[in-house]
Amino acid sequence: MSYVRYFHTASVLSNGKVLVTGGFDLNNVLNSAELYDPSTGTWTTTGNMNNPRYLHTASVLSNGKVLVASGWNSSIAINSAELYDPLTITWTTTGSMNNARYIHTASVLSNGKVLVAGGYDNSIGYLNSAELYDPSTGIWTTTGIMNNTRYCHTASVLSNGKVLVTGGLVNYTSYLNSAELYDSSTGTWATTGSMTNERYWHTASVLSNGLVLVTGGRGISSALNSAILY
């Protein structure tokens, strides 16, 4: 890549290229973005974001654009959002979120909207709030709140259209093994079975058979090598 970075995002575009955005380089928060072309194995810089950010999310929308939302700018959580258009190679601002947040999750729903859940806001603390972005209007609206505040969690869109959220942190010393489901048809959350281990900074992958594989993460006393299926 052209820039060193971590806590960035990477999104596979409809044209097959990969868009990397933002992050931190140990000295500065980045607004730079770059594209990886699998056909040549090369990176090229593309337009800069309007706001530097890291610990944000990036979601590929059904129209091919990429929605970048919230994040941390080295001093505060931000609520701004912006769109990358691969056709024009430009960034444009879109509606701001109702709550600033970082280390949240963002999930593209079957109806095309984007569900953002949880995270942390330094002015409020740990969040259980959730909101929806509508690409047709560029507006965020609040939706049902989760049963637990959480960040460093995962969110997975299931084959039935519901969103499974697992684990995370309630605070720096309280880890979660709980899980809950978001139903986009009702805008509500319902608890579901708990994991066998509390964990955060783990991964969750939706398999072809519809199951969700959760792996690793940080547990109560150590890092984990365990894996479980939902």
Whether the pLDDT of residue 173 is over 90: the answer is no
Q: What pLDDT does residue 126 have? A: 96
Question: What are the structural domain ranges in the chain?
Answer: 1-103
pLDDT at 172: 82
Instruction: Give the pLDDT band of residue 79 (cuts 50, 70, 90).
Output: very high
Give the model's confidence band at 177: pLDDT under 50 very low, under 70 low, under 90 confident, else very high.
very high
Q: What are the pLDDT digits (tens) for 29-58?
A: 999 999 999 999 999 999 999 999 999 999
**Given a cut of 90, is residue 9 above it in pLDDT?**
yes
Distance (Å, rounded) from C-alpha 74 to C-alpha 27? 10
Q: So what's the pLDDT on residue 42?
A: 98
